[in-house]
Amino acid sequence: MKNSKHVGARVILGVALAGLTYAVTLNVLAGPEKSPISKQQDIASDSAKPKAQDCAAEVETLRKQSQRLRAEVDRLKAQVKELEKYKEIDYVRDLLMREEQRGEELQLKLLDVAEKSANLQSRLVAIDQQLSPENIERALAGVGSLRPEETREGARRRLVMERQGLLAQIQLTRQEQTRLQMSLQSADQSIQRLRLRLSEAIRN
């Protein structure tokens, strides 16, 4: 009787050990059981993956937009530079035309003064000839006078006064001629500078 009881107990103990061994084996293979917090973190991590992908796509979109804006800004800068170039060309060309016109006007004035000076010089030569006593006598030969000496002296004084007036006018025309020549020289130099500036503006 005792032997049968010991055998039954051994069988029961063997079955229990076998069951326990099987349960431990399943637990090892399945891995440690995660806590509720770990499970929530895993769920949050899985839900965060699509959000991270969305952020990356948005950043890429913004990067492309920034590149397009930068290209547009560069294009606008190039257009502004081109407009400024043409503005500079028009400005310099306008200055050049004005200076050339001023030079032409100075040349015309210089010709007028030179012509006036030549006429005054011719009249001065004629008066110098008339002032000779022989020419005064010849000019008054057909004029009857009771006082020929006073008549000749009066004619001489008139010629002398006219000669002095001519000399004063000739001096003024010379001063005017000098002033116009200096202005014309300045205009020519300005024209040369503006032409050079215009060429550089067109070349650039």
Question: In this structure, is the dihedral angle defined by the CA atoms of residues 25, 28, 30 and 35, taken in order, positive or negative?
Answer: positive
In CATH terms, the fold of domain 43-203 is Helix Hairpins (1.10.287)
Whether 147 has a pLDDT exceeding 60, the answer reads yes
Domain ranges of the chain: 43-203
Q: What letter does residue 146 receive in the DSSP assignment?
A: S
For residue range 5-47, list pLDDT tens digits in order. 444 445 454 544 555 455 445 444 444 554 555 545 554 455 5
Whether 201 has a pLDDT exceeding 70, the answer reads yes
pLDDT band for position 2 (cuts 50, 70, 90): very low
Summary count for the chain: helices (H), strands (E): 4, 0
In angstroms, what CA-CA distances link 122 with 17, 22, 128, 166?
A: 153, 146, 10, 10
pTM over 0.95: no
- Tell me the three state secondary structure of residue 34: coil
Contacts of 160 (CB under 8 A, 6+ apart): 131
Contacts of 89 (CB under 8 A, 6+ apart): 198, 201, 202
Whether 109 has a pLDDT exceeding 80, the answer reads yes
Q: How many CB atoms lie within 10 A of CB 180?
A: 20
Mean pLDDT of the chain: 80
